[in-house]
């Protein structure tokens, strides 16, 4: 790890009761079968006290190839939401394969002028990483309308739903430190130790893809970072290869700890198969003595624990704890270095 000064952090303004939250198609289309999921998301955020609106591109049946619209159309709608002072938060409807097509079209000046929470994971990981690198924006790697809030939340135990709803409300509206995220018995210590640093991560293939663009996160952003990642689909050998890419480009030499999400639908990781995900991670890390916490509920295996990109976190792998050590939002649109 290197010891450079921490980059600037751009926190969105805390949401207030009655603020407008918009659900937008930032990547994939909305199939007819998932329309009820969007409606459940609307009801959830209205219950939290917000007004909710759907962006025009979030329309059943609308699509361009595998996307909700062309990259230029999606970027135009996103930029309109970023520039609209009435819009206080943006929730991705779903993931997909489109964000790479409009990374160069996003109005970063609008973000700097009026930063607001963008919630989502999967393809939205690219937005979080690129926008954090370009502006310092805290990105909310968190649930989305279709696979998360409207899909996986209703199937979770009632107590877990209530716990998550309270957590997300605090995440978006409270300027106090969140503290420890609610742990579960699934969390596993893959390598003991403690670490403290900014959360940086997302879907592992999107982390690697982001680093192949002109908008790559500067390597200094990984200094002392707690790297979090998860994966959906593909093969175990792909995960090994993505980790090797991060080793070659120096990311693994800079981070202070690692948090691995619950894998989903990855070929070669079936129960009893070898290598396990733990074995893959430790193989690539080699003698790098950093703590690793595995099987944490964020990403495609949801419901998601929020992982705010750029926010300082404390990790104790042996005790299986992960804590957010500073506020995720501010009372105003806040910029500036944080200690």
User: Are residues 23 and 43 in contact, defined by beta-carbon separation less than 8 angstroms?
Assistant: no
Please indicate, yes or no, whether residues 188 and 147 belong to a single structural domain of this protein: no
* 259 band by pLDDT with thresholds 50, 70 and 90: very high
Strand ranges in 101-154 using DSSP code E only, listed in sequence order:
118-120, 139-141
Please indicate, yes or no, whether residues 125 and 203 belong to a single structural domain of this protein: no
Count how many Cα atoms sit within 13 Å of the Cα of residue 169 in the half-sphere of its side chain: 14
Model confidence pLDDT, tens digit, residues 144-192: 999 999 999 999 999 999 999 999 999 999 999 999 999 999 999 999 9
Q: Which CATH number do you get for residue 153?
A: 3.40.50.10740
Give the whole-angstrom CA distance, residue 302 versus residue 264: 10
Model confidence pLDDT, tens digit, residues 29-79: 999 999 999 999 999 999 999 999 999 999 999 999 999 999 999 999 999
Please indicate, yes or no, whether residues 309 and 200 belong to a single structural domain of this protein: yes
More confident residue, 271 or 167: 167
Q: Which domain holds residue 284?
A: 179-324
- Position 21 scores a pLDDT of 98
Residue 129 in this model has a pLDDT that exceeds 60? yes
For the whole model, what pTM was predicted? 0.94
- Position 7 scores a pLDDT of 65
Please indicate, yes or no, whether residues 164 and 24 belong to a single structural domain of this protein: yes
Please indicate, yes or no, whether residues 66 and 190 belong to a single structural domain of this protein: no
Instruction: Give the pair of three-digit tokens for residue 62.
Output: 């609308």
Model confidence pLDDT, tens digit, residues 111-127: 999 999 999 999 999 99
Please indicate, yes or no, whether residues 215 and 78 belong to a single structural domain of this protein: no
Average pLDDT over residues 296-317: 95
Give the whole-angstrom CA distance, residue 262 versus residue 214: 30
Q: Does residue 148 form part of some domain?
A: yes
Residue 337 in this model has a pLDDT that exceeds 50? no
Domain count, the chain: 2
Contacts of 202 (CB under 8 A, 6+ apart): 121, 125, 126, 128, 129, 141, 228, 229, 309
Average pLDDT over residues 250-263: 97
Please indicate, yes or no, whether residues 28 and 138 belong to a single structural domain of this protein: yes
């Amino acid at each position: 790890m290197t010891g450079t000064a921490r980059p600037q952090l751009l926190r969105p303004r805390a949401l207030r009761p009655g603020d407008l939250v918009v659900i937008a198609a930032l990547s994939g289309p909305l199939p007819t079968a998932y329309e009820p999921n969007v409606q459940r998301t609307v009801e959830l955020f209205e219950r939290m006290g917000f007004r909710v609106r759907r962006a025009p591109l979030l329309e059943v049946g609308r699509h361009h190839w595998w996307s909700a619209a062309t990259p230029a159309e999606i970027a135009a709608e996103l930029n309109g939401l970023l520039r609209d002072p009435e819009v206080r938060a943006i929730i991705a409807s779903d993931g997909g394969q489109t964000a790479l097509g409009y990374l160069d079209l996003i109005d970063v000046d609008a973000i700097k002028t009026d930063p607001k929470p963008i919630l989502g994971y999967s393809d939205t990981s690219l937005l979080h990483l690129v926008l954090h690198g370009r502006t310092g924006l805290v990105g909310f790697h968190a649930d989305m309308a279709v696979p998360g809030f409207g899909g996986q939340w209703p199937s979770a135990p009632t107590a877990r739903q209530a716990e998550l709803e309270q957590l997300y409300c605090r995440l978006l509206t409270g300027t106090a430190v969140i503290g420890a995220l609610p742990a579960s018995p699934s969390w596993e210590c893959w390598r003991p130790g403690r670490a403290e640093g900014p959360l940086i991560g997302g879907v592992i293939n999107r982390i690697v893809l982001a680093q192949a663009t002109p908008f790559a996160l500067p390597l200094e952003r990984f200094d002392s970072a707690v790297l979090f990642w998860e994966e959906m689909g593909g093969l175990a050998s792909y995960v090994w290869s993505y980790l090797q890419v991060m080793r070659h480009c120096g990311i693994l030499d800079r981070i202070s700890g690692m948090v691995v999400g619950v894998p989903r639908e990855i070929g070669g990781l079936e129960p009893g198969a070898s290598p396990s995900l733990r074995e893959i991670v430790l193989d690539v890390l080699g003698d790098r003595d950093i703590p690793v916490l595995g099987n944490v509920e964020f990403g495609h295996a949801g419901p998601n624990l929020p992982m705010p990109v750029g926010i300082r976190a404390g990790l104790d792998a042996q005790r299986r704890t992960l804590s957010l050590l500073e506020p995720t939002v501010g009372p105003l649109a806040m910029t500036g270095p944080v200690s």
